[in-house]
Amino acid sequence: LIRHSCISSHYNLHMFFCGISVISDNIIAIQATVRNIL
C-alpha cells in the first residue's frame, strides 16, 4: 500500500510537470505567433 501510494504520487507529480511543460510550450508558441502578427 505504501509503495502504491508512492508510485501514484510520483505519477501525479510527473503528470503535473508534463502539463506545465506543455503549457509553457503553448505560451512560447502563442508569443511567437503574436510577434508575427504584430
Q: Report the pLDDT value the prediction gives residue 2, as an integer from 0 to 100.
A: 63
Domain limits, the chain: 1-38
1-38 pLDDT, tens digit each: 567 777 788 888 888 888 899 999 999 999 999 998 87
Predicted TM-score (pTM) of this structure: 0.54
Identity at 23, one-letter amino acid code: I
Q: Report the pLDDT value the prediction gives residue 1, as an integer from 0 to 100.
A: 56
User: Alpha-carbon distance 35 to 15, whole Å?
Assistant: 30
